Amino acid sequence: AQSVSQHNHHVILSEAASLELGCNYSYGGTVNLFWYVQYPGQHLQLLLKYFSGDPLVKGIKGFEAEFIKSKFSFNLRKPSVQWSDTAEYFCAGPRGSQGNLIFGKGTKLSVKP
Amino acid sequence: EAQVTQNPRYLITVTGKKLTVTCSQNMNHEYMSWYRQDPGLGLRQIYYSMNVEVTDKGDVPEGYKVSRKEKRNFPLILESPSPNQTSLYFCASSTQNQPQHFGDGTRLSIL
């Protein structure tokens, strides 16, 4: 079965702390992976994507993610978080047909000023 | 401007009164989806469409209908809404293997 798992439900950090959010996927075939962010009261926006090539992917706002095939992981990282990073973060991967996605349950990040 | 437009943004209604949430995209995308978002459950797919007249059930299709008569539109229909369909709904569109673009969401409250 295809699935995407996010292990952290709620992460609380102080400003300037480093961030790592876990994401694991389980399926074979072509791996297209995404991280989305949802700021309070807003819709989901793409942070970054991995299709192929360099497993270290850089996205917007200083975020990056590393695809590790042997661990089936695609963890999101940021060296120094800001209060404005407070949001919910979703990992997503392919689901069946091309163009269809399955999402993890999300990780809520709260950054204390 | 590339966008996915949902209407209405907010709706409070009563059990059993049919309603339709519209979704329109201007990017000529083949793929469109409907999701519902509930606290602690993330985004769960309701229905998915690969192109005009081609739709498929997602994880939670019960109580919902969709149609895809035109490429740009993908309405979500609740024939007889019930309180357990109170949720935040998102429409999304994409082209093959590309990220999905999301609408601003529709918050439905069914009393």
Evaluate if residue A99 carries a pLDDT over 90: no
Give me the pLDDT at residue A97, please.
Answer: 66
Give percent of chain B with pLDDT exceeding 90.
Answer: 89
Point out the residue among B43, B90, B97 whose CB comes nearest to the CB of A98: B97
Among chain B residues, the shortest Cα distance to A37 is held by B102
End-to-end CA distance of chain B: 36
Contacts of A46 in chain B (CB under 8 A): 99
Q: Which of residues 39-68 of A touch B (CB under 8 A)?
A: 42-46, 49, 51
**What is the average pLDDT score of chain B?**
95
CB neighbours of A43 closer than 8 A, spacing ≥ 6? B90, B102, B103, B104, B105
The answer to whether the CB atoms of A43 and B105 lie below 8 A apart is yes
Torsion, Cα of B39, B45, B47, B49 (10° steps):
130
Q: Which of residues 52-111 of B touch A (CB under 8 A)?
A: 56, 90, 92, 94-100, 102-105
Give percent of chain A with pLDDT exceeding 90.
Answer: 72
On whether the CB atoms of residues A38 and A24 are closer than 8 A, the answer is no
On whether the CB atoms of residues B34 and B74 are closer than 8 A, the answer is yes
Give residue-wise pLDDT tens across range A44-54. 999 999 988 89
- DSSP letters spanning A3-61: EEE---SEEEEETT--EEE--EEE--S---EEEEEE-TTS--EEEEEE-SS-SEEE-GG
Lowest mean pLDDT across A59-63, B21-25, B38-42, B80-84: B38-42
β-strands B106-110, B10-13: how paired? parallel
**Degrees, nearest 5: CA angle A53-A18-A26:** 45
B71/B55 Cα distance (integer angstroms): 12
Q: Does residue B28 sit at the A interface (CB-CB below 8 Å)? A: no
Give me the pLDDT at residue A50, please.
Answer: 92
B109/B106 Cα distance (integer angstroms): 10
The answer to whether the CB atoms of B40 and A105 lie below 8 A apart is yes
Average pLDDT over residues A73-84: 96
Give me the pLDDT at residue A28, please.
Answer: 67
Q: How far is A75 from chain B (nearest CA, A)?
A: 18
